[in-house]
Structure 1
Amino acid sequence: MPADLIIPDWPAPTNVHALVTTRAGGVSKPPYASFNLADHVGDDPAAVAANRRLLRTLLPAEPVWLKQVHGTRCVDAASIAKGCEADAAFTRQPGVVFAVLTADCLPVLLCDEAGTVVAAAHAGWRGLAGGVIESTVAAMQLPGKQLIAWLGPAIGPQSFEVGGEVRDAFLAHDPAAASAFRAQANGKWLCDIYRLATLRLEALGVCLITSADFDTVRDTERFYSYRRDGITGRMASLIWRS
């Protein structure tokens, strides 16, 4: 079993299950050491396959993997073909496990209070600005006030330096997004992706939003970080309902 797993601390109903992997407990060699689950980052395919087999022992079914493209498409995990291009998924079908892969981008897990539908979104800044959260909530076909969200491990607000074009993209959608940016002496901005996601969720009526104090860049032992390392692995955030 992987040495370190994160179980979301959120008020989901008992039939909703979720977990997030860290970089510990697998067989991949540096720079992917050790529990890399991505097959598109240059790691040894045999190591990735072994890590995925290890992950499978923790799950009720083989997980559905998306081909993530930093977009906004949300698909039904119960009915997609292998290699489907999407950055979010949902399902109402019990026993269907699906995942989003991240290494600085924000994984957003969602369910409804009754446990009838679950969803996961890969929210990097491009997808977040483009509306991946909005498309995911729309696919769930329930009012936001009935939904619960958990924000997983991502780049922290002290580590995410961006240019003015990123800030402009969010402010064009919602002037309140200014609260997620802090000016730096070099003309750039520190960006709080957790705050940006929270604003998007709240605008959709989702008020029950939880997260922990993560920073994938600074926590070198626990998390992969593309910004920190460039060549690196990916963690998986998985969700399903029983």
Structure 2
Amino acid sequence: MSNERYIWAGWPAPNGVNALVTTRKGGLSEAGFSSFNLGLYSGDDQETVRANRQLLNQDLDLARSPLWLKQVHGVEVADADTDNQETEADASVSRTTGSACAVLTADCLPVLFCNLDGTVVAAAHAGWKGLVAGILEATVHSMGVPPETVMAWLGPAIGQHNFEIGPEVRAQFLAEDSGCFGAFNPGREDRWFANLNTLARRRLNRLGVNRVYGGEFCSYDQSDLFYSYRRDGKSSGRMASLIWRVPTMP
């Protein structure tokens, strides 16, 4: 396995749960997509992306390919154990060993989940639209376990000082949670800088998920490691955040 391709989640997940995010290193893509681009519809050569995905499958010794979703910034949660590739959803859940949940990002926040027993895992794609709509709540609900038994890991996303939004976006968050005003810093004129990590943590905490880890990576600033759509535009590739169960010794 090429270690430069992966960053393993730093959280106390139970034995038998594997979780990581890919970097942009060690792949086959060229030019602005260099080099481990996993986004099939990012504008990169699709055969090259498929070859990158095959490298991932081989590296991680996956029994089958992760469930690659057609992400639409909504709140649908797919079943990685039974659904087909390209299911339209922004999260997936699995209870079967070898079925990997995956989300693709390039500034949006990827969130990985598992319960304390390690019997169920999930992954969610949480940009600001998904956060407002309730993708994290929908994902935890689909896990079918008490929220207080769930832990979450926040992967690389655009940092607050790079994520400028309009007042209408801030207003949507405040309309749901008036206490989230601390997640926004004033920008130019009527603009604001939003903290996706803080907004996600608040929503998870309000739901009852208090074991929340990660959030230390900025996709925009760390250009050597991550893709960023806001930084690179249409030439941006995609990272994958994955979580899956593996058999454990009795």
Interval of TM-score (by shorter of Structure 1 and Structure 2): over 0.9
Deviates more, 1:102-111 or 1:206-215: 206-215
Contact 2:5 2:36 in 1 (8 A): no
Match of 1:191 among 191, 194, 201: 194
Q: Normalized against structure 1, the TM-score is what? A: 0.97
TM-aligned CA deviation for residue 43 of structure 1: 0.5
* Equivalences for residues 138-157 of structure 1 within 5 A: 138-157=141-160
Q: Which amino acid in structure 2 is aligned with residue 208 of structure 1?
A: R
TM-aligned CA deviation for residue 94 of structure 1: 1.3
Aligned partner of 2:238 in structure 1 is 234
3-state SS of the aligned residue for 2:86? coil
Consecutive unaligned residues in structure 1, runs of 5 or more: none
* Equivalences for residues 64-143 of structure 1 within 5 A: 64-143=67-146
Contact 2:67 2:84 in 1 (8 A): no
3-state SS of the aligned residue for 1:57? helix
TM-aligned CA deviation for residue 98 of structure 1: 2.2
CA change 1:156–1:165 in 2 (3 A) is: same
For 2:228 and 2:154, locate their aligned partners in 1 and report how far apart those are by CA, in whole Å.
Answer: 17
Q: Normalized against structure 2, the TM-score is what? A: 0.94
Match of 2:164 among 157, 161, 166: 161
Structure with the higher fraction of residues in helix conformation: 2
For 1:33 and 1:173, locate their aligned partners in 2 and report how far apart those are by CA, in whole Å.
Answer: 39
After the TM superposition, list the runs of 4 or more consecutive aligned residues in structure 1 that deviate by more than 6 angstroms: none
TM-aligned CA deviation for residue 14 of structure 1: 1.0
What's the C-alpha RMSD, in Å, of the aligned pairs? 1.0
Consecutive unaligned residues in structure 2, runs of 5 or more: none
TM-aligned CA deviation for residue 17 of structure 1: 0.5
Paired residues, number: 242
TM-aligned CA deviation for residue 240 of structure 1: 0.4
Match of 1:203 among 202, 206, 223: 206
Measured against aligned partners, the alpha-carbon deviations of 1:99-125 in whole angstroms (never above 9, x if no partner) come to: 100000000000000001000000000
Percent identical residues? 51
For 1:205 and 1:69, locate their aligned partners in 2 and report how far apart those are by CA, in whole Å.
Answer: 26
For 2:171 and 2:217, locate their aligned partners in 1 and report how far apart those are by CA, in whole Å.
Answer: 25
Aligned partner of 2:35 in structure 1 is 34
Q: Which amino acid in structure 2 is aligned with residue 7 of structure 1?
A: W
3-state SS of the aligned residue for 1:116? coil
Instruction: Find out whether 1:223 has 2:226 as its counterpart.
Output: yes
